[in-house]
């Protein structure tokens, strides 16, 4: 099973273009991440992590409280926090 393809299919089936983007403000600077980029980055993780991402995406589809948009906002924030944390560690 191609998990990245399945994730994109879930997004498309929900009526969302995977090329859609989300803007995040980080230290006064706007950073934009596309849904495709978020999927691609998580697909670089271990097989287990990919399955966790896929399962969480499927559950977000079924959740009325979370939804796919909130799922990707959270995953994008996590990516940015990880990136900023790595930069901070490089400075110390």
Residuewise pLDDT in 10s, the chain (92 residues): 899 999 999 999 999 999 999 999 888 889 999 999 999 999 999 999 999 999 999 999 888 777 899 999 999 999 988 876 655 455 44
Please state the separation of Cα 82 from the chain's center in Å: 12
Task: State how many domains the chain has.
Answer: 1
Query: Mapping DSSP to helix (H, G, I), strand (E, B) and coil, where does residue 33 land?
Result: strand
Cross-strand pairs, 67: none
Residue 7's domain spans which residues? 3-91
**Is 0.75 topped by the overall pTM?**
yes
Cβ pair 33, 22 in contact under 8 A: yes
Cβ pair 26, 80 in contact under 8 A: yes
């Amino acid at each position: 099973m191609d998990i990245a393809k399945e994730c994109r299919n879930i997004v498309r089936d929900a009526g969302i273009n995977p090329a859609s983007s989300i803007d995040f403000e980080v230290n006064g600077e706007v950073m934009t991440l596309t849904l495709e980029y978020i999927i691609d980055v998580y697909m670089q993780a271990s097989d287990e992590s990919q399955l966790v991402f896929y399962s969480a995406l499927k559950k977000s589809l079924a959740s009325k409280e979370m939804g796919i948009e909130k799922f990707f906002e959270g995953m994008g924030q996590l990516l940015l926090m990880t990136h900023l944390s790595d930069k901070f560690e490089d400075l110390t």
